[in-house]
Amino acid sequence: MTMSLELHGKPTLQGKVALLTGANGGIGLAVAYAYLASGAKCVIADLPIEPSVGVSALIDKFGDKVTYQHGDITDPDTRRRLVSSTLTQFGSIDVLFNNAAIFNMAPILDASEEEFDLAFSVNVKAMFFLMQDVAKAMIEIGNGGKIINMASQAGRRGEALVAHYCATKAAVISYTQSAALALAEHGITVNGISPGVVDTPMWDSVDALFAKYENRPLGEKKTLVGEEVPLGRMGVPNDIAGMALFLASPLSDYITAQTYNVDGGNVMS
């Protein structure tokens, strides 16, 4: 007996429009490149007024298929502007890569209310309401869509020094599941990505905080966490970009409400 396997889709984003937040560097920039190289048009959004060297290089390479917009997504007007300007420029939103986030750290007994409010404002509130705004636009357009929320291995467990961040990323995983169930009838899939330790510029700040609170030399924590990964190294942004491309592509059409660990084996679930 012979069998044939036909894939009902290809890993391409030809003709799709993606809105990416927190994409001026690091993981977001790598995902933007993957999307553009696969045929998508992209709106890259982040807090700095001017695009980074990396984003400028994408603009040089892909021309009018990519644009950069700055703004604070904790502001409702900014979120609405990002959605409306994406629709005005490209006529659709097919993919949301919901990536903007902040990291903070403090011992439980020292963690402040101000740090709590800021972490939840960016990592949870802004994430949720941008997802809501984009979902409304996708429903109005009527072609379904893909929403990808960035979680973290920190959302899978508590950590003594990182309570606020862990809690925000656990909330991202929960909202991803709830939104997936609510939006399934509209042909919109909602999935998450849970990276482990990824070597981006942010990790220099993370390492400095661990040095402060764990009384370590600078650079030691970063080295240790890389060595502890089962695959023997920290991740790099391109490791995450592959999953982000898969979840945005037709190959993931029958997948929703999932959060995928991309962490070199740190978390098994």
CA distance 239 to 87: 30
Q: Which of 145, 135, 175, 134 is nearest to 45 (CA)?
A: 134
Q: What is the pLDDT of residue 202?
A: 87
Structural domain including 33 reads 17-198+236-262
Torsion over CA: 45, 24, 200, 247 (sign): positive
CA distance 246 to 250: 8
In a domain, 6, yes or no: no
213 has catalytic annotation: no
Catalytically annotated residue among 33, 165, 175, 260: 165
Q: What is the pLDDT of residue 269?
A: 82
pLDDT tens digits along 240-267: 999 999 999 999 999 999 999 999 999 9
Residue 79 has pLDDT above 70, yes or no: yes
In a domain, 217, yes or no: no
CA distance 44 to 30: 11
Tell me, what CATH number does 163's domain have? 3.40.50.720
In a domain, 183, yes or no: yes
CA distance 241 to 35: 9
In a domain, 226, yes or no: no
Q: What is the pLDDT of residue 8?
A: 53
Tokens of 226: 């890389």
Residue 7 has pLDDT above 60, yes or no: no
Number of separate domains in the chain: 1
In a domain, 160, yes or no: yes
Q: Which of 214, 192, 218, 216 is nearest to 203 (CA)?
A: 218
- What confidence tier does 111 reach under pLDDT thresholds 50, 70, 90? very high
Residue 105 has pLDDT above 90, yes or no: yes
Stretch 160-183: mean pLDDT, rounded? 98
Tokens of 250: 């037709």
Q: What is the pLDDT of residue 17?
A: 98
Q: What is the pLDDT of residue 188?
A: 98
Provide the whole-model pTM: 0.95
Tokens of 130: 């941008």
CA distance 152 to 217: 25
Stretch 224-242: mean pLDDT, rounded? 96
SS3 (DSSP) at 235 = strand
Q: What's the mean pLDDT when you consider all of the chain?
A: 95
Q: What is the pLDDT of residue 3?
A: 45
CA distance 229 to 222: 11
